[in-house]
Amino acid sequence: MHRLSVLLALLVLLNASAGAHEDWCGYDFTLVGVPNSAGDVAFTSLTGMNSSGKIVGGYTNSNPRNGFLLRGAIFEEKIEAPDSAFNNVRGINDKGVIVGFTVLRNGERLAIHRDSDGRLSTFNVPGATLTDAWAISSNGRIVGHYRGNGGPEHGFLWNGRKFQTIDAPFQPRTALRGVNKAGQIVGNSVANDGRAVVPFLLSDGIFTPIQIPDAFIVEVSGINDRGQIVGTFTTSDPATNPSFSTRSFVSQGDDVTFIDAPFPGTQSTSAFGINNRGELVGTVSFADGRQMGFTAAPRTCK
């Protein structure tokens, strides 16, 4: 089995507003990168983490995207579909089941499902020309988005027996990004030009927009079984401000905590996943152009 060592640097505690979390004292951040002797790894991103600490993500080198599974302090497995040119693994549940998507060498784009025994398969929403899976709950529900012939993206929910199309009522395109054991779903409703985004929570059949104070573009990226939602936002318009930065947040009801990685030279912090212990994974972008993965573990006040 191919094994890659991990660059780990445990850095300082982030001092952020704790909101209503009286027993919460910020996060301990760990920086994660993929070193290699060729020196051609352009960036590392962590996208999902389960409660036992298994992490999925990706890195680029001479290939545009390589999916991987991280166990402890070792990159243990590359995850790739047969005959693929691009692999993007996004979510992992507490049973170790992994989902994502792949682009085959013939250009076909399919969702990836890898079971807890390591068997990998691909699937399409029936009638779709593109299917991306983004998250899987602890009880096996999968969400993502698909596209038909020339139409906009639609969200989908797969419960293991059938597919359900989910379209938010805000913008023409819908992309689902997270689902928990209770069936709560988060996603983004996107305008055709990609600029107007309405993030939302779907719970008990009701779509509720998610708003972050003083944010320009907000996108959600995950939800855990405690109902904590993770996402990102920009502080200005990326179309008019090339030096815009990305920040992250964790929200639950009206309680919002801002997440900013404390590494020297950090330009943007993009949190992509949250597990049932409230631990975060994502990507840090630095002013010198580097992009590396991070984990952030909540610290309990003593």
Sorted by where each starts, the structural domains of the chain and their CATH numbers stand as 4-10+26-300 (2.120.10.30)
Report yes or no: 100 and 92 within 8 Å, Cβ to Cβ: no
The reported pLDDT for the residue numbered 53 is 92
Interacting residues of 60 by C-beta distance below 8 A, sequence separation 6+: 41, 42, 43, 66
Sign of CA dihedral 271, 260, 12, 225: negative
Report yes or no: 186 and 199 within 8 Å, Cβ to Cβ: yes
Strands 153-158 and 163-166: antiparallel
| Residue 75: other Cβ atoms inside 10 A | 23
Compute, in degrees rounded to 10, the torsion defined by CA atoms 8, 13, 16, 21. Answer: 100
> What does the block give as tokens for 73?
């302090």
Note the residue count of the chain: 302
Q: In the chain, which residue ranges form alpha helices assigned H by DSSP? A: none
Strands 120-123 and 109-114: antiparallel
| Residue 4: other Cβ atoms inside 10 A | 16
SS3 content of the chain, % helix, strand, coil (to 5): 0, 55, 45
Compute, in degrees rounded to 10, the torsion defined by CA atoms 62, 66, 69, 74. Answer: 10
Nearest-angstrom CA–CA distance, 275 and 272: 11
Nearest-angstrom CA–CA distance, 302 and 244: 37
Place of tokens 């996060």: 27
Displacement of CA 112 from its chain's centroid (Å): 15
Closest by Cα among 99, 92, 34 to 61: 34
Residuewise pLDDT in 10s, the chain (302 residues): 333 334 433 333 333 333 334 456 789 999 987 766 555 667 889 999 999 999 999 888 766 778 888 876 567 788 999 999 999 999 999 999 999 999 999 999 999 999 999 999 999 999 999 999 999 999 999 999 999 887 899 999 999 899 999 999 999 999 999 999 999 999 999 998 877 899 999 999 999 999 998 899 999 999 999 999 999 999 887 777 777 889 999 999 889 999 999 999 999 999 999 999 999 999 999 998 889 999 999 988 76
The reported pLDDT for the residue numbered 301 is 76
| Residue 142: other Cβ atoms inside 10 A | 24
Closest by Cα among 189, 256, 260, 203 to 228: 256
